[in-house]
Structure 1
Amino acid sequence: MATDQYAFTNPAEMYSDFEPSAQYQEGAGLDANLRDKADLGEDTYRGTGRLEGRKALITGGDSGIGGAVAIAYAREGADVAISYLPEEEEDAQRIVSLIEAAGRTAVALPGDITDAAFSRELVATAVEKLGGLDILINNAGKQQFHEDILEISDDEFDATFKTNIYAMFWITKAALAHLKPGSTIINTSSIQGYSPAPHLVDYATTKAAINTFSKALAQQLAPKGIRVNVVAPGPIWTPLQTAGGQPTDQLPDAGSQTPLGRWGQPAELAPAYVFLASGESSYVVGETLNVNGGMPTP
């Protein structure tokens, strides 16, 4: 049961017909291959011009949370560049078509952000094709569960940190040459940064680091008129979850741990990113906005 973001709805009863199965996908996972489709707000999100004329770069913008944010931003009046892995082209082209259907410019930028040179080139290309940049969303992430720390190889640990931390660092540094006063940076953390699961040791560690990085950078950039904030999702139904992000047999019940008793959907995250990018949040700096179904955080 999907509704638009302005509907008066009982949140505990939303998506009551959504009962995900125990699916596993190889690789990064695709929205296109989800048996139980995620709601990105493609049929429901209503824009009101809150980001008119803005220019955004969203990493991991092909699916899941990033895809939902790309759709919302376009419908709010922004031109949007999305980065994604080359194997996610099918998902990316769907998001591109939805951005363009909203009458906005869409820029598709495939590549691997764990490569420092590509991360810097990504920003330069986005700026060139969009004609500037004033919103940066560091959203792409790597999450693989391991029941035992001994199962995490050095290479996998490194890949998780390069995807979640190093890429954010490289991309943010490159973007700062182009961000003017009034611009915003929004990084994606997680409930795992506060309440880490034992099978997500490396992932949870990166998400706590994102919180700290963002709060420190927010203080540094605020005097320059650039705001930095964070969105920390709870259990959100995305392809990442079916691609080793969680134990496959636990997928049907993972959302039941929240007070709302269900998985969240990407469409429920998009308004938080819109708020933090818009002028409505002009006095919000260094904040972590938790969108997690009611799970307590410090």
Structure 2
Amino acid sequence: MDLGYPGISGRRVVITGAGRGLGRVLATAFDAAGARLGLVARSERSLREVADSLHGDPLVCPGDVRAAGFNESVAENMRERFGGVDVWIANAGVSPQVSTVEQTDPEVWRDIIDVNLTGAFLGARAAAAVLGEGGRIIVTGSVIGQRPRPGLAAYAASKGGVQALVQTLAQELGPRAITVNAVALGWFDTGMGAHWHRDTERESDIVGHTALGRWGVAEDLPGVYLFLSGAGAAYVTGATITVDGGYSLL
């Protein structure tokens, strides 16, 4: 089953942050499309729950994406299990915390930057060592990286950094026919956005600033990742594709 995205079946795909939320949605979609998966998250229990819900037999890799050695071990385990990696999706991230710059604890800043940006860098670094010609790196970004909001300095900086990282990697890895792209997500009613969705005032404000007049749902998410991973996106690199229902337009 290719879900209309040619070239996915049999692809060896790593998905970080796969234990819940949007990462779980991606794991389900790529599994349905016939990919061979390596699932990464901090919690082994959550990864096992996801793995048990899939049709395939994914590699389960619990650990911390902030550690270079862990990312390298994921790449090596994929090589031992499946013979290599074709697609690395750096999706692991932590939620924004709303506070002014003066109120932001330096440790909170470091944690958000370390997971959202350094984790993506270390994953891409590990992926680059094992990806062959036609390999893909996809990093989950955010419209907040393009349109920052007050109180989200750390989160905005981490996601803005993702876009710069992707553009740099695209230039470095292009000669090897490896593409590198980002997906800038808007407001989804699952994953990290779920608790914001339950806040009536905030939910209404976000809908009012979204061209389609609604939050994103799980079905809105996988298509762009599947496209970027497949045969039709071989000439797309260094791009940030926004999936936000038009939030960044208003």
The two structures share one fold, judged by TM-score above 0.5: yes
Instruction: State how 1:116-265 maps to structure 2 within 5 Å.
Output: 116-242=68-194, 248=199, 250=201, 252-253=203-204, 255-256=206-207, 257-265=209-217
State, as a whole percentage, how many aligned pairs show the same letter. 29
What are the ranges of 5 or more consecutive residues in structure 2 without an aligned counterpart? Answer: none
Query: Aligned partners of 1:75 and 1:222: how far apart in 2?
Result: 29
**Runs of 4+ with >4 A deviation:** 245-251
Partner of 2:246: 294
Kindly provide the amino acid, as one letter, of the partner of residue 246 in structure 2: G
Mean Cα deviation higher: 64-73 or 154-163: 64-73
Kindly provide the amino acid, as one letter, of the partner of residue 237 in structure 2: V
Query: Aligned partners of 1:180 and 1:223: how far apart in 2?
Result: 11
Query: Aligned partners of 1:181 and 1:119: how far apart in 2?
Result: 20
From 222, 227, 231, the counterpart of 1:270:
222
Q: TM-score, normalised by structure 2?
A: 0.90
C-alpha change, 1:252 and 1:296, in structure 2 (3 Å) is closer
Q: Deviations over 1:139-191 (max 9, x none)?
A: 11112322322221111111111101111111211121210001101111110
Partner of 1:68: 25
Query: Aligned partners of 1:259 and 1:49: how far apart in 2?
Result: 27
Query: Aligned partners of 1:84 and 1:235: how far apart in 2?
Result: 22
The total of aligned residue pairs comes to: 247
Query: Aligned partners of 1:159 and 1:247: how far apart in 2?
Result: 25
Kindly provide the amino acid, as one letter, of the partner of residue 70 in structure 2: F
Q: Deviations over 1:17-61 (max 9, x none)?
A: xxxxxxxxxxxxxxxxxxxxxxxxxxxx97247311110001001
Residue 89 (1) aligns with residue 56 (2): no
Kindly provide the amino acid, as one letter, of the partner of residue 180 in structure 2: V
Tell me how large the CA RMSD over aligned residues is. 2.2
Kindly provide the amino acid, as one letter, of the partner of residue 105 in structure 1: D
Partner of 1:115: 67
C-alpha change, 1:77 and 1:247, in structure 2 (3 Å) is closer
Report the Cα offset of residue 251 of structure 1.
Answer: 5.1
Q: Deviations over 1:96-153 (max 9, x none)?
A: 1233x2xx33112112222333232232223323331010000111123223222211
Kindly provide the amino acid, as one letter, of the partner of residue 253 in structure 1: S
Contact 1:53–1:78 (Cα < 8 Å) also in 2: yes
What are the ranges of 5 or more consecutive residues in structure 1 without an aligned counterpart? Answer: 1-44
Kindly provide the amino acid, as one letter, of the partner of residue 277 in structure 1: S
Query: Aligned partners of 1:53 and 1:239: how far apart in 2?
Result: 27
Q: TM-score, normalised by structure 1?
A: 0.76
Q: Deviations over 1:223-269 (max 9, x none)?
A: 211011111110112232346x7895645435412111111013211
C-alpha change, 1:265 and 1:254, in structure 2 (3 Å) is farther
1:151 is paired with a residue whose SS is coil
1:296 is paired with a residue whose SS is helix
